[in-house]
Structure 1
Amino acid sequence: MSAPGVGIDELLERIREGYTRVGPQEAYDAFLGGALLVDIRYQALRERDGLIPGAVVIERNELEWRLDPRGSHRIPQASDHELRVVVICNEGYASTLAAASLHALGLRRATDLTGGFQAWRNAALPTTPPVGTTA
């Protein structure tokens, strides 16, 4: 029997050593400066909590295909490996793995939001109301 690999907490720590994560205000400022915010939360969370205006919603299982500048299924914004991308999940865990995957595709300016959408909302940055509610 082989020895077990690293646990998820150790893996996240190792990945995060390879780039600088951003907080909510820094992510917002990056967006205002032209960065692409990418919301990878699943639909139920987006419906429950709302959206970030201007963020592109890409389901996690489609992320690499949509953001690979060489890919045939890329979104129009993914035209260059120098694209600044801030990946946003719900609490800042899955987004780390997603950012690492984007780095593997050559998107070295990809990062993720520390604390995810919940940190963004707690910082009182712009969001749309959840589905079924009014602002």
Structure 2
Amino acid sequence: MSAERGASGHQAEGERPVGIDELLERVRSGLDRIGPQEAYGVFRDGGLLVDIRYAALRERDGLIPGALVVERNELEWRLDPQGSHRASEAVSHDLRIVVICNEGYASSLAAASLRQLGLRHATDLVGGFQAWKAAGLPVQAA
């Protein structure tokens, strides 16, 4: 929960609202964001790539072979190693996780949320799927 909000989640009296650009800047300052080649290395070394793009984008642009596809609204439930709805890949809080959205914006917020669950090695891909594809890394038809 943001320091800007009280226990109820509401903005504290007299504090200014935070815009999305400022929120992204704050969130990203706590992440070690990585590029496509490094993300591929994480995957090759046993880390988990998590594609949170919505279905229409996956159908249009393709998939990263081996990436776990999880809709954004299910992400925390599927990756919490202690959760009853976890994906079989969500084995440990020590797992290296790279969250991938289309262009690298929503993934920053998603990775920060995973870190709040104790997934301390969660991060995201700078430029998202589009950067992965532009780097010539593996993509397959949906």
TM-score band by shorter chain is: over 0.9
Query: SS at 2:123's partner residue?
Result: strand
Deviation of 1:19 (Å): 1.9
What amino acid is the match of 1:34? G
State whether structure 2 residue 28 is matched by structure 1 residue 16.
yes
Q: Which amino acid is 2:137 matched to?
A: L
* Cα drift, residue 4 of structure 1: 3.9
2:19 is aligned with 1:29:
no
Mapped to 1, the partners of 2:84 and 2:15 lie a distance apart of: 39
Structure 2 counterpart of 1:56: 68
- Return the alpha-carbon distance in structure 2 between the equivalents of residues 114 and 78 of structure 1: 22
2:92 maps to which of 68, 71, 80: 80
Partner of 2:128: 116
Shifted more, 37-46 versus 6-15: the winner is: 6-15
Amino acid at match of 2:97: V
Deviation of 1:81 (Å)? 0.5
| TM-score normalised per structure 2 | 0.88
TM-score (norm 1): 0.93
Give the CA RMSD over aligned residues: 1.2
Once the two structures are superposed, residues 84-110 of structure 1 have per-residue CA deviations (whole angstroms, 9 ceiling, x without a partner) of 100000000000000010000000000
Report the AA paired with residue 34 of structure 2: V
Whole-angstrom CA distance in 1 between matches of 2:132 and 2:17: 33
Q: Which runs of 5+ in 1 are unaligned?
A: none
Structure 2: stretches of 5+ with no match in the other structure: 1-12
| Separation in 2, partners of 1:3, 1:112 | 29
Which amino acid in the other structure matches residue 98 of structure 2?
Answer: V
Deviations 1:42-68 (A, max 9, x none): 000000000000000000000000000
Aligned length: 130
The secondary structure found in structure 1 opposite 2:60 is: helix
1:101 is aligned, of 110, 113, 117, to: 113
The amino acid of 1:32's aligned partner reads R
